[in-house]
Amino acid sequence: MKFTSFVAITFLAGASAFAPAPVSKTSTALNMEAQTRRVALTTIATGAIASTFPSAAFAAKEPSFDDMKQILNLGMSLDKLKEKCADPDQSEAALVGLRSFNRDPNFYTGYSRNFISKTVKNNADGDSRVGYIRQASSVVGSIEELLEGRQGLYGADASKEAVARVEKAQTLIAKFIAECGVKDDKFAPYLAAHPF
């Protein structure tokens, strides 16, 4: 690979060494002004014509289940987290998953923002549905400090509060799913299990 690159560069350098020198054209200021006007008019005309064609950026996207299955997976994984949080003896197992989640706490917020930006033209970040996932991610992330005892609760009290926070996050995720615009039977069990 390196030898062929060397050979190619050598041939290119040799070819340019024997090429005629570029001829520069001298022109007057009036000639240059006419060329700049011509270029400007051509650019404007091309832009005006091209803007009439439909663009992929403005295509109407119908949201589907595959576009947001990661959000549903988050909600369903919180069921397992709730089981681990309910038992104070399994708090260390819950902390392992929470530490992994907190390595990138904005992943699901970004994912939901990207999903919403497919259906909303402006300000997807300010959409209330993205706010649901942002708040749910924040609530889930705060459980790590709670189970480590950094929020003043220990043992059964910390477990009870952790379960309440998980349920709150699940409710927020259910709100997002209900308001996202995707009609799919795969969401029905989750929405039935987590009414809002």
pLDDT at 109 over 60: yes
Q: Which domain holds residue 188?
A: 65-193
pLDDT tens-digit profile of 137-155? 999 999 998 888 887 888 8
| Cβ atoms of residues 101 and 78 within 8 Å | no
Asked if residue 179 belongs to a domain, the reply is yes
Q: Is the pLDDT of residue 59 over 50?
A: no
Q: What is the mean pLDDT of residues 102-107?
A: 88
For the chain, what is the domain count? 1
Q: Is residue 44 part of a domain?
A: no
User: Which of 95-99, 113-117, 119-123, 167-171 is the most confident on average?
Assistant: 167-171
What's the pLDDT score for residue 20? Answer: 65
In a domain, 11, yes or no: no
Instruction: Answer yes or no: is 111 within a domain.
Output: yes
